[in-house]
């Protein structure tokens, strides 16, 4: 089903007590990734971009 990640409900502003599959973000519009999850993904993308060599 895919990787499970932490999420919070935008309507209540509370973090969910369980991890949800990433596919749920497209199904349930009120779910958002936690700020720490977003930061981890951003740093992972930045790390892979800096490792590529041009030339």
- Which residue segment(s) compose the domain that 15 sits in? 4-50
In a domain, 13, yes or no: yes
* pLDDT per position as a tens digit, 5-53: 999 999 999 999 999 999 999 999 999 998 888 888 888 888 776 666 6
First CA to last CA across the chain, in angstroms?
39
The pLDDT score that the predictor gives to residue 12 is: 94
By the 8 A CB rule, do 20 and 5 touch? yes
What is residue 46's predicted lDDT score, i.e. its pLDDT? 83
What's the structural domain count of the chain? 1
The DSSP output letter for 4 is E
pLDDT of residue 55: 55
Helix, strand, or coil (residue 11): coil
Per-residue pLDDT at 41:
83
Sheet with 31-33, side-by-side order of all strands? 14-15, 7-9, 31-33
Q: Which pTM was predicted?
A: 0.66
Rounded-to-integer distance, Cα 33 and Cα 51, Å: 26
Residue 55 lies in a domain: no
């Amino acid at each position: 089903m895919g990787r499970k990640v932490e999420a919070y409900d935008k309507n209540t502003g509370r973090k969910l007590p369980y991890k949800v599959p990433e596919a749920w973000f497209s199904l349930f519009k009120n779910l958002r990734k936690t700020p720490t999850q977003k930061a981890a993904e951003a740093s992972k993308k930045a790390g892979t971009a800096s490792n590529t060599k041009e030339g």
